[in-house]
Amino acid sequence: MGLKRTDEFRKDAVRIALTSGLTRKQVADDLGVGMSTLNKWITAHRDTDVVSKEDLDIAKENDRLRREIRLLKEEREILKKATQFFAGLKQ
């Protein structure tokens, strides 16, 4: 039989899963719980005050900024390759 986790542990796990920017898989692995268990806890605590609206807004903004950074890095790599390509044509 598995470990019985405290309610405080579950709430912390939900808060981390919803605000850390990590995938649920990463959070579950880090905490030593199964994905389905973590998802059940998130569903059970979704409408509670475990995570404040402000924290969720910040987490959403962080996700948006991470996507934007990833896109900008990809564009920069494309420009580097184009610069190298065109510099090679001048010879």
Under DSSP, is residue 46 helix (H, G, I), strand (E, B) or coil? coil
pLDDT tens-place values along the chain, 91 residues long: 567 888 889 988 988 988 888 888 999 999 999 999 999 998 887 767 777 778 778 878 888 999 999 999 999 999 999 999 988 886 5
pLDDT for residue 89? 81
pLDDT for residue 91? 58
Q: What is the pTM of this model?
A: 0.60
pLDDT for residue 53? 79
Angle between helix 35-45 and 7-19 (nearest 10) = 90
Domain regions of the chain by residue span: 1-50, 51-90
